[in-house]
């Protein structure tokens, strides 16, 4: 292996490691983004709360209507059973019965309205629950494949790191700091492959003839006159 091809091999492994790390980071971001699920969960909880409130309101109205009716019946029993005597008292009882009956009628009307609301709230509750179940299933499904991919990529790292170690050892020790420094400056790509024997594979600049000759030997580090990367010719 020539001096420069050792650096190129190292570059390839570094790029592979970097690609895996970037994908792992992306997966972690995707897995932490639970916004859609949270919205569905909140909507389901709100729909449930409102359904319970309407149901309890209806029950209260029905109980109140029953009470009104019972009071009216009790008074009627007393009135027609002869327990209430005197014209004035009987008149008062009749007026009270009429008030209870009127109240009961109003409460029945309100119950009918509440029943309609209850039907709507029940339908909304069911829909929100179904939506949440769907969002949850979607989430489970997508995170299952994300988790799998995450584990697959993580599993590749130790092997790649040991290849990297070997490749770093195969390079000339004095070249490593040069390589690392360039990687830091050039978006992690320190070595550019020369294409067609004359063009920098990274910045696409055509190399002067003298440089082309130097690159061919593969013995010394030759930098691209434009982007500064180490040039490598297969």
Where on the chain is the footprint of Zn ion (CB under 5 A)? 200, 202-203, 224, 226-227
**Count of residues in the chain:** 234
CA-closest candidate to residue 50, choices 128, 106, 113, 107: 128
Least distance from Zn ion to the Cβ atom of residue 207, Å: 8
Work out the number of other CB atoms within 10 angstroms of the CB of residue 207.
21
When the beta carbons of 5 and 143 are compared against Zn ion, the nearer one is: 5
Least distance from Zn ion to the Cβ atom of residue 221, Å: 14
Least distance from Zn ion to the Cβ atom of residue 204, Å: 7
When the beta carbons of 93 and 203 are compared against Zn ion, the nearer one is: 203
Give CA–CA dist 154/159, Å, rounded: 10
Least distance from Zn ion to the Cβ atom of residue 25, Å: 28
For 139, the token pair is: 């989430």
Cβ atoms of 200 and 229 within 8 Å: the answer is: yes
Question: Residue written as tokens 């593969």?
Answer: 218
Least distance from Zn ion to the Cβ atom of residue 229, Å: 5
When the beta carbons of 164 and 202 are compared against Zn ion, the nearer one is: 202
When the beta carbons of 163 and 205 are compared against Zn ion, the nearer one is: 205
CA-closest candidate to residue 188, choices 26, 20, 22, 11: 11
Least distance from Zn ion to the Cβ atom of residue 19, Å: 21
Angle (CA) 104 105 107, round 5°: 60
When the beta carbons of 146 and 227 are compared against Zn ion, the nearer one is: 227
Give the three-class secondary structure for 44. Answer: helix
When the beta carbons of 99 and 226 are compared against Zn ion, the nearer one is: 226
Give CA–CA dist 205/174, Å, rounded: 27
CA 94 to chain centre: 66
Alpha carbon distance, N-terminus to C-terminus of the chain: 11
Least distance from Zn ion to the Cβ atom of residue 160, Å: 26
When the beta carbons of 167 and 202 are compared against Zn ion, the nearer one is: 202
Half-sphere exposure of 59 (CA within 13 A, CB side): 6
For 228, the token pair is: 């500064």
């Amino acid at each position: 292996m020539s001096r420069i091809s050792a650096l190129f091999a190292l570059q390839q492994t570094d790029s592979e490691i970097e690609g895996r790390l970037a994908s792992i980071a992306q997966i972690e971001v995707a897995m932490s983004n639970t916004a859609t699920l949270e919205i569905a969960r909140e909507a389901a909880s709100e729909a449930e709360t409102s359904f319970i409130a309407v149901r309890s309101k209806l029950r209260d109205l029905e109980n109140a209507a029953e009470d009104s009716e019972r009071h009216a019946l009790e008074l009627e029993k007393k009135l027609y059973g002869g327990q209430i005597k005197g014209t004035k008292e009987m008149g008062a009882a009749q007026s009270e019965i009429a008030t209870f009956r009127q109240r009961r009628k109003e409460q029945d009307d309100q119950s009918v309205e509440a029943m309609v609301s209850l039907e709507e709230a029940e339908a909304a509750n069911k829909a929100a629950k179904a939506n949440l179940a769907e969002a949850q299933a979607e989430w489970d499904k997508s995170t299952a494949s994300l988790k799998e991919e995450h584990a697959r990529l993580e599993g590749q790292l130790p092997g790649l790191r040991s290849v990297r170690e070997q490749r770093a050892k195969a390079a000339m020790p004095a070249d490593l700091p040069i390589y690392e420094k360039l990687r830091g400056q050039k978006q992690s790509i320190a070595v550019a492959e020369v294409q067609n024997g004359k063009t920098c594979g990274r910045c696409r600049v055509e190399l002067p003839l003298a440089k082309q000759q130097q690159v061919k030997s593969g013995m010394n580090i030759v930098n691209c006159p434009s982007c500064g990367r180490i040039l490598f010719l297969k």
